[in-house]
Amino acid sequence: MSNEISKHHKQRLRAEIRFKRYGMAALGFSLAVLVFLMGSLFANGLPGFIKTKIMLPIHFDVAAIIPENADIASVPPSAFNKLMQQALRRTFPDAQDSDGRALYGLISGGAGAEIKKILLKNPGVLSTTQDVSFVAASKADLFFKGQISERTPEADRKLSDKQVGWLKKLQADGRISKSFNTTLFSAGDSRTPERAGFLGAMVGSAFTLIVCILVVFPIGVATAVYLEEFARKGLFVDIIEVNINNLAAVPSIVFGLLGLAVYINVMGMPRSASLVGGMTLALMILPVIIIATRAALKAIPDSIRDAARALGASPLQVVWHHTLPLSMPGVMTGTILGMARAIGETAPLLMIGMVAFVADIPSGFTSPATVMPVQIYLWASSPEAGFAEKTAAAILVLLTLLLAMNALAIYLRKRLEVRW
């Protein structure tokens, strides 16, 4: 008998060891996948935070561009592109007339606006020659970042041999510089990768989340308080609870269809606006807020409620002055986690038109806007190679915000937690 017990004990120990090894293997595999994913994002995204600039000697002779005594402010920026083109011609005197398009294509659009800005800021540069740095075009930027190799056959790359030679000469002359890509955080979307920024999507996400929290927080908390503190248990309450739990598992795109049908088609709200986006996301995370708030209220000991009632407090005073304030750490944690889910959602917003190209920074809750996940989707689906690094860089920004929100939730839970 003792031999059978000993044998069974050894088998159980071996099974436990195998189970631990399976768990460690699964954990190791998960960490390896995470490291690979984050390593790939950093490798592809970090170049997106760097921009390449080309410095050219600009001769600010505007007499050939604008009429005599004309106001510079009234001249369109495109007129000043000629000064940039003349500087390139002086830098590469051997370039043929037929090379003009390829030569000028090394500089990103907006060079004329940069020259006009300098003239308006400092009129003293008129008739002088000054070195001015211009943003390099996407293909030139990718060349200096090593993503376009001159070893690749000319027919298979976006830069011709002449363009590669011009870029190498500029680099040899010390006219190539790299700096932090402030455009990524100071501009809206653009058709050209080097001019595209993430600010419009960030502002759109901020407006959308403001609407979402203003709608979902009072409704969610009030619903949870009613169900937990005032509602009498019965069939009606049971149906509500079942539906709340079911709504928490509904695919997010269903809420997008609901927002499209109700807010846009029935109520006539503006399409692709933060107002509609926030209200749609509020529908999606409402069950999450209700469930989290009810869990926080259940954690409050009944002795606190009984003590308040014994002192003459009404049911509303018990909730308002005791149970709700004491449950607020859990409520805030659930709310922040729900908002973190909302900030990363894409499918519901695609259904209400927030996938549109929006170049301007949103100025209000009803302005056309997009959000960060949708902007990432638009860049990822773009055929331009320069948008690949912008996509990875935007993902890193979004992940940083999500990690910050989750860290805030953990901090609030630890900082405000009350142990009974």
Give the model's pLDDT for residue 345: 87
Q: What is the pLDDT of residues 147-159, one digit of tens each?
A: 888 888 888 888 8
Sequence-distant (6+) residues with CB within 8 A of 201 are 189, 370, 371, 372, 374, 375, 394
Of residues 106 and 69, more confidence is placed in 106
CB 298 within 8 A of CB 291: no
Q: Could you tell me which residues are beta bridge partners of residue 52?
A: 178
- The encoded tokens of residue 120 equal 């308006």
Q: Tell me, what's the pLDDT at 33?
A: 94
Alpha-carbon distance of 336 to 413, in angstroms, equals 11
408 three-state secondary structure: helix
Contact 49, 181 (CB under 8 A): yes
DSSP 31-93: HHHHHHHHHHHHHHHGGGGEEEEEEEEEE---TTTS-TT--GGGS-GGGGHHHHHHHHHHH-T
Q: How far apart are CA 255 and CA 275, in angstroms?
A: 15
Overall average pLDDT of the 69-78 stretch: 78
Higher pLDDT, 417 or 126: 126
Rounded CA-CA distance 299/121 in Å is 63
Count of CB atoms situated within 10 Å of the CB of 290 = 29
What's the average model confidence in pLDDT over 1-9? 71
Predicted TM-score of the model (pTM): 0.86
Long-range own/partner contacts, residues 70-78 (CB < 8 A, 24 or more apart): 72/116, 72/119, 72/120, 72/123, 73/120, 75/116, 76/112, 77/110, 77/112, 77/113, 77/115, 77/116, 78/112
Tell me if 154 sits within 8 A of 161, measured CB to CB. yes
The residues that bridge with 136 in the sheet, in sequence order, are 107
Q: Check residue 252 and give its pLDDT.
A: 87
| d(C-alpha 75, C-alpha 139), whole Å | 29
Using DSSP, state whether 420 is helix, strand or coil: coil
Does the pLDDT at position 8 exceed 80? Answer: no
Average pLDDT over the chain, rounded to an integer: 88
Tell me what pLDDT residue 289 has.
Answer: 92
Q: Where are the domains of the chain?
A: 2-46, 49-180, 199-416
What's the residue count for the chain?
Answer: 420
Q: Tokens 């561009």 correspond to what residue? A: 65
> What is the amino acid identity at position 192?
T
- CATH number, domain 199-416, options 1.10.10.10, 3.10.20.30, 3.65.10.10, 1.10.3720.10: 1.10.3720.10
- Looking at residue 137, its pLDDT comes to 92
**pLDDT value of position 282:** 92
- Whether residue 374 has pLDDT greater than 70: yes
What mean pLDDT do residues 24-48 have?
92
pLDDT at 233: 83
Per residue in 307-361, pLDDT tens? 988 888 888 898 898 898 888 888 888 888 888 888 888 888 888 888 888 888 9
Per-residue confidence (pLDDT) for residue 418, from 0 to 100: 65
For the cut 70, the answer to whether the pLDDT of residue 242 exceeds it is yes
The predicted pLDDT at position 375 comes to 93
How far apart CA 74 and CA 158 sit, in angstroms, is 36
Instruction: Output the CA angle 331-337-342, nearest 5 degrees.
Output: 120
